[in-house]
Amino acid sequence: MKLSVSKWCTFAGKEITENLRSKNIFALACVFIFLALLSVLTARFMGEIMDWALSIEGGAGLMMEIPDPVWTDSYVQLYSNLTSMGMLAFVMIYMGAILREKRSGTIDLMMAKGLTPTVFVVAKYAVAVAVSILALVVTVLITYVYTLVLFEYGGNIGHVLLGAVPFGVFMIMMLGITIMWSAIAKSTAMSAVLGLVSFFLFIPLDLIPWIGRFTPGRLLGHGVSLSVGVGAGNYLGIQIAVAIVVTIVALWIAIQVLRKREG
Amino acid sequence: MKYAVKTQGLTKRYKTALAVDDVNLAIPEGVCCGFLGKNGAGKTTTLKMLVGLKRPTNGSISIMGQEQSFGTQVQMPFGYLPDVPSFYGYMTGAEFLDLCGKLCHMPTPQRKARVKELLKQVGLDRTRTRINGYSRGMKQRLGIAQAMINSPPVIFMDEPVSALDPIGRRDVVDIIQSFKNTTVIFSTHILADVENLCDYILIIEKGKILAHDYMANLKERHSQGSAKIRFYTPQDAATFKSHTAQHFTADNQANPLELLLHSTSGNMQELSHHVTALLQTHSLAMEYFGAHTPHLEDIFYEVIGK
């Protein structure tokens, strides 16, 4: 047990180095900082943007009633952008996490040094989660500060950070699923497609009567309400629990795939 | 005798094929063992089972007296070099060796010293570039260094020289030759390297071990009843060959003055008598007559029946 923990720490350290040197962290940081700034700017200047769009040729004569922007619009835009572009960035960055090592053969060298599939998968996943949570927290804080600057009020910082929790849980579930596909897929493209299909499958699941309210896809809708201090409804706990179970199952499958590969 | 590697009934069966069939090995400690076989004979599968990268369908493995249980080993009593070693290209050679040392639970001061020592031994101590910039030969040398990081008593190498140019090959052979007190088991197609380096031979064909013994014993066994004779003129060689009959056969060699003789009874003394009699009967003068020691290549072809 002690030796496994030591191997886990060593391999997780290697993963951190890899994230830093492969610029994964910087790519993710750039995408998320861009999304934070874009969200607040879009919220603040939506009226002006629409006026400009309508004034150009072809839009003349059209009238549109746009309400005055308020600080909560920043969080509406943020979670909308994170759900689309942010999730795409996660899948793209981590779709090859295990696949690359399988294809290059580095996994064989590591396993021949006594690294088990469990340590291998869990270390990769843990570092991906740490990097992603860091990116999410930084994004939310930038959004808060920039909202404060442009709207002169950014909401309650505690609520804003709490608002990131449901999205964060969904995100770490998606990371687990992405890692699983990365262990199963034969190519990076296949891993990316499977990751994105899995993500888009959670959206229609929401619509299933009665069951829909317990599905993790609903977590994506709580970011705004929690950020502005409104509750998240009665089923948040169950949705988080389901997301955790899905994550554990996904990681277990990834480990079994690597074990089977050895056999 | 102490054995570095022992297997009993080692078998690997895939859905449609039997890759390794009931292999029983006993490789003595301290030997350099050449593992020979055609492509697809089962060398890589056997090596991967020995190092825990493939689960055997049946059988047991013991390395340095320690039973190997698939998937549960965290401390490996061996080093392993795969056929095409891959590394994390963003690391330097020293960083990669340090990672391997950490995975082998080496204490920091010992690990740092060992990394330095190994980089020097494989000639990479002056290289500052990341592994991405290494040539194939440099990668192979780094691969050997990582296999040796915790000074294991046994090192398995899968085709360590096959893909290298002559200089890279010579470098790797020199490194293998420098191993002391280590059992080395390596698979290769280059029989000349095995002949130069190895004192123990394994030959596998269709998943079955057809020969495993010390090189000297194999050579002795396969030389019985064979002799080489050299004449002063090609005419004498031709005359001699035309009169060989029931007691021995004679095969032409590249040199027209030489013949390779095989006694039908396998008895060297008898062969010697028959040759002397034939030489006297036809008044033939020979320059040399002596027992023929086969090359590894001859033994290999004979064993696999080609």
Q: Report the length, in residues, of chain B.
A: 306
For residue A230, the tally of other CB atoms under 10 A from its CB is 13
pLDDT over 90 percentage in chain A: 45
Q: How far apart are CA B32 and CA B26, in angstroms?
A: 13
Q: Nearest-5° angle of CA B192, CA B195, CA B196?
A: 90
Size of interface A-B (CB pairs under 8 A): 70
Q: Which chain A residue has the Cα nearest residue B74?
A: A114
Question: What is the average pLDDT value for chain A, to the nearest integer?
Answer: 87
Q: How distant is the Cα of B122 from the closest Cα of chain A, in angstroms?
A: 18
SS (H, E, C) A1-13: CHHHHHHHHHHHH
**Cβ within 8 Å of residue B221, ≥6 positions away:** B213
Contact A10 B102 (CB under 8 A): yes
What is the predicted pLDDT for the residue at B91?
94
Contact B87 A114 (CB under 8 A): no
User: B130: which DSSP letter?
Assistant: B
Q: Which chain A residue has the Cα nearest residue B68?
A: A114
Contact B73 A114 (CB under 8 A): yes
Which of B53, B91, B102 shows the shortest C-beta gap to A112?
B53
Contact A108 B74 (CB under 8 A): no
Overall average pLDDT of the A231-243 stretch: 86
Which of A6, A105, A263 shows the shortest C-beta gap to B105?
A6
What is the predicted pLDDT for the residue at A106?
92
Place of tokens 């390297």: B193
Best of A16, A26, A99, A113 to substitute, by most chain B Cβ atoms within 10 angstroms, is A113
Phi/psi for A115 (5° steps) reads -80, 130
Structure tokens at B28: 């003595």
Cα first-last separation, chain A = 23
Which of A14, A17, A114 shows the shortest C-beta gap to B75?
A114
Is residue B107 classed exposed, middle or buried when 0-12, 13-18 and 19+ CB atoms within 10 A define those classes?
A: exposed
Contacts with B75 from chain A: Cβ below 8 Å: 3, 114
Contact B90 A111 (CB under 8 A): no
Strands B78-81 and B18-28: unpaired
What is the predicted pLDDT for the residue at B290?
87
Q: Nearest CA to B68 among B53, B85, B87?
A: B53
Q: Element (H or E) spanning B27, and its range?
A: strand B18-28
Maximal CA-CA distance, chain A: 73
Which pTM does this prediction carry? Answer: 0.82
Place of tokens 């002795």: B220
pLDDT at residue B248 is higher than 80: yes
Q: How distant is the Cα of B304 from the closest Cα of chain A, in angstroms?
A: 28
**Residue pLDDT, tens place only, A43-87:** 888 878 877 777 776 655 666 677 788 899 999 999 999 988 888
Q: Which chain A residue has the Cα nearest residue B152?
A: A113
**Cβ within 8 Å of residue B26, ≥6 positions away:** B3, B5, B6, B212
Cα first-last separation, chain B = 33
Contact A251, A179 (CB under 8 A): yes
Helices (H), chain B: 43-50, 93-103, 108-121, 136-147, 166-177, 191-197, 215-223, 234-243, 268-281, 296-304
Q: How confident is the model at residue B12 (pLDDT cuts 50, 70, 90)?
A: very high
Q: How far apart are CA A162 and CA A148, in angstroms?
A: 17
Q: Element (H or E) spanning A262, and its range?
A: helix A236-262
What is the predicted pLDDT for the residue at B102?
93
Q: Nearest CA to A94 among A177, A12, A7?
A: A177
**Residue pLDDT, tens place only, B93-134:** 999 999 999 999 899 999 999 999 999 988 888 888 999 999
What is the predicted pLDDT for the residue at A177?
95
pLDDT at residue B73 is higher than 70: no
